Structures are given as structure tokens and as C-alpha cells.
């Protein structure tokens, strides 16, 4: 997590869209992430500190309720985004007033911030209005954090603070169900997900995923049970294969980046890292762990 929060905040400060606000939630961290934000001296950043760690769902909910904009998006402390992300997604939601959210592709990086793969649901450069979403199964978006969502709908859906994992999946099902959305494969979000997780965390995520799917037993009696069975099968497979997982295994989970993906990633990384070096200097050595601090950035975009 070294340098993670400065890079996340740096990617926000270099956005081509400037009419945003940031709600930074310190979820009971043991270090001082607020000091990193103080270096920037930007009035658009509002900090909220929780006295103790309340978990991802609670922290995201605090940020969501505090945001005053018409549109919201999340940026976790160990991720960052391309400099045109907010502008492009806000423009699409203005262009398609029937859409509840716009998705984009995700770049997957390792601990050295090197590009290792991509995840996308839509075609690369062609935003497409789809839906309404009416089935239980794979979500039609690359990730929760890569989406920009209309704030009233996001607040109505809310986050379940009792879920230690998969609160984002639960949230997206409620946001999307019965609504239209924009699918776009062009990469705008960078996720530090190229790493082997402890088996305990993986099993907890599957357990929470089963809890989320069970809530739809009445609405989707057949599909919910089919999906829950798939989760149980995945759980059994991961238990057996976890000790054999290596870098090549991790690579199989993601699509291979195109030449354009790589070029755009390198250009955006250069812009963000240059900003971080200029504005933070030695302060960029902020450290923490994902369990100690779940910092949530909610950008409320004013129309």
C-alpha cells in the first residue's frame, strides 16, 4: 500500500473535469491518511474520520450520503484512474438520460503498478445503451468502482454494512435491476488486483456472495439457486487449487491488454506519477494495509 493514497488522490486532482467534490472516509486507520489529503490544500476534498473500523459497506455508505453531486463514483485508496475518466463518464450520462450508470474497462496492475491485464464487459471504444437489466447472474459491468452512477439511485440502493465482502455486488444488483445502463469497454480505472489473496479472504468472499444471491430466492427462484450452486463449486475448486496458484494462474483471470490499452495506461500513469512527485515529494511514502484503512473517495459531480 506504500504510495497508494497519494496516487489515488493525485489521479483525482489531474482530472480534466474539475467540477467535483471528494468525500474521503478514513475508516479507523492506524496511520494518518488525512495528513496526505492536507498536503493538497484543496477545498473540494472533505474528510470524514470514523472512530473505529466499521467495514467497507459502512464506509462507502458514509461517503455516499455525504456527497452532494448529481453523479457519484468510488475510488479506493489503493487504486487510481485515468485523467479523463470523470469527464467522459459524466458526458455519457448527460447524453443518455435513461441510463442509471456508465461502466468502463479496468486495468489490472501488480504491486509495482505495472499493467498485467484488463477487464471489460463492453466493446472497447463504443459506448452502448443496454438493458433493462432483469436477470440474476453475472453483472454486466467490469467492476463497482469503474462505474459512475446517478446519485439518487445510488442512495436508494445503499450499501449493506453487515457484509464484510461483496457489498459492492449487492449494491450493483439493486442499482441495476430493472434499469438501463451504458456499457463501455474503454479502460479508465486502475485496480491493484494482481496478487494472490489468502484463502481465508477468498472463502469469505464466496460466503458473502452466497448471502447476496440468497436474497433473490423468491424473485428468481431457479436462477438464484443455479448461481448459488456455481458459488459452491467455485469454493470447492479454490480450496483444492489455491496452493498451486502462481503468477501464470493469475494472468488467466484477465484479458490480455491491447497495444492501445498499454499506450493509454503508460500515458496516464506518467501524468499521475509526475503530479504525485511534484505535489507530495517524500509525503508519497504513505503506508497502510487494506484491513487498517478502507478509504473511500466519492466524487459528486455537479451538473
Residue 250 forms part of a structural domain = yes
Domain that holds residue 225: 199-242
Q: What's the mean per-residue pLDDT of the chain?
A: 87
- Rounded alpha-carbon distances, angstroms, from residue 63 to 20, 29, 69, 208: 14, 16, 12, 22
Q: Are residues 13 and 153 in the same domain?
A: yes
Residue 298 forms part of a structural domain = no
Q: Are residues 64 and 150 in the same domain?
A: yes
In this predicted structure, what is the pLDDT of residue 28?
Answer: 76
The count of structural domains within the chain is 2
Residue 275 forms part of a structural domain = yes
* Residue at grid coordinates 497502510: 288
Q: Are residues 84 and 185 in the same domain?
A: yes
In this predicted structure, what is the pLDDT of residue 131?
Answer: 87
Beta bridge partners of 177: 133
Q: Are residues 113 and 207 in the same domain?
A: no
Q: Are residues 226 and 165 in the same domain?
A: no
Residue 299 forms part of a structural domain = no
In this predicted structure, what is the pLDDT of residue 303?
Answer: 39
pLDDT tens-place string over residues 1-16: 335 788 999 999 999 9
pLDDT tens-place string over residues 184-193: 999 999 999 8
Dig out the grid coordinates for 238 from the structure.
479454490
Closest to 26 in 3D by CA, of 279, 286, 280, 204: 286
pLDDT tens-place string over residues 119-128: 999 776 889 9
Q: Are residues 27 and 150 in the same domain?
A: yes
Residue 301 forms part of a structural domain = no
Q: Are residues 170 and 203 in the same domain?
A: no
What residues in the chain have per-residue pLDDT under 70? 1-3, 31-32, 124, 282-303
In this predicted structure, what is the pLDDT of residue 299?
Answer: 45
Q: Are residues 189 and 204 in the same domain?
A: no
In this predicted structure, what is the pLDDT of residue 116?
Answer: 95
pTM of the model: 0.90
In this predicted structure, what is the pLDDT of residue 77?
Answer: 85
* Percentage of residues in the chain having pLDDT higher than 70: 90
Q: Are residues 37 and 83 in the same domain?
A: yes
Q: Are residues 85 and 73 in the same domain?
A: yes
DSSP track, the chain: -TTHHHHHHHHHHT-S-----EEEEEES-SS-HHHHHHHH--TTEEEEEESS---HHHHHHHHHHH--SSEE-EEETT-EE-TTHHHHHHHHHHH-TTEEEE--EEEEE-TT--EEEEE-SS-SS--EEE--B--SSS-SSS-STT-EEEHHHHHHH---TT-SS-HHHHHHHHHHBT-EEEE--SEEEEE---SPPPHHHHHHHHHHHHHHHHTTTTTSHHHHHHHHHHHHHHHHHHHHHGGG--HHHHHTTSBPPPHHHHHHHHHHHHHHHHHHHHHHGGGGG----TTT---EEEE-B--
In this predicted structure, what is the pLDDT of residue 3?
Answer: 54
Amino acid at each position: 500500500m506504500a504510495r497508494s493514497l497519494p496516487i489515488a488522490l493525485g489521479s483525482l486532482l489531474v482530472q480534466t473535469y474539475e467540477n467535483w467534490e471528494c468525500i474521503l472516509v478514513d475508516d479507523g486507520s492506524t496511520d494518518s491518511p488525512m495528513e496526505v489529503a492536507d498536503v493538497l490544500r484543496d477545498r473540494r476534498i472533505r474528510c470524514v474520520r470514523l472512530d473505529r473500523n466499521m467495514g467497507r459497506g459502512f464506509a462507502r455508505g458514509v461517503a455516499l450520503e455525504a456527497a452532494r453531486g448529481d453523479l457519484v463514483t468510488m475510488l479506493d485508496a489503493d487504486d487510481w484512474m485515468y485523467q479523463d475518466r470523470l469527464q467522459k463518464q459524466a458526458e455519457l450520462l448527460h447524453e443518455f438520460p435513461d441510463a442509471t450508470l456508465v461502466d468502463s474497462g479496468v486495468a489490472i496492475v501488480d504491486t509495482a503498478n505495472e499493467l498485467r491485464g484488463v477487464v471489460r464487459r463492453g466493446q472497447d471504444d463504443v459506448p452502448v445503451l443496454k438493458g433493462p437489466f432483469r436477470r440474476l447472474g453475472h453483472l454486466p459491468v467490469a467492476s463497482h468502482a469503474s462505474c459512475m452512477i446517478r446519485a439518487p439511485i445510488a442512495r436508494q440502493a445503499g450499501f449493506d454494512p453487515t457484509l464484510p465482502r461483496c457489498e459492492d455486488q449487492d449494491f450493483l444488483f439493486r442499482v441495476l435491476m430493472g434499469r438501463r445502463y451504458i456499457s463501455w469497454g474503454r479502460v479508465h480505472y486502475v485496480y491493484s488486483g494482481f496478487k494472490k489473496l489468502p484463502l481465508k479472504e477468498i472463502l469469505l468472499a464466496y460466503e458473502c456472495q452466497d448471502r447476496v444471491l440468497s436474497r433473490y430466492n423468491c424473485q428468481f427462484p431457479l436462477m438464484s439457486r443455479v448461481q448459488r450452486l456455481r458459488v459452491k463449486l467455485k469454493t470447492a475448486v479454490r480450496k483444492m487449487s489455491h496452493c498451486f496458484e502462481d503468477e501464470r494462474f493469475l494472468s488467466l483471470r484477465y484479458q490480455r491488454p491491447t497495444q492501445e490499452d498499454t499506450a493509454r495506461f503508460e500515458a496516464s500513469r506518467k501524468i499521475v506519477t509526475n503530479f504525485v512527485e511534484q505535489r507530495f515529494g517524500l509525503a508519497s511514502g504513505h503506508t497502510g494495509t487494506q484491513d487498517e484503512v478502507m478509504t473511500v473517495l466519492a466524487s459528486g459531480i455537479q451538473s
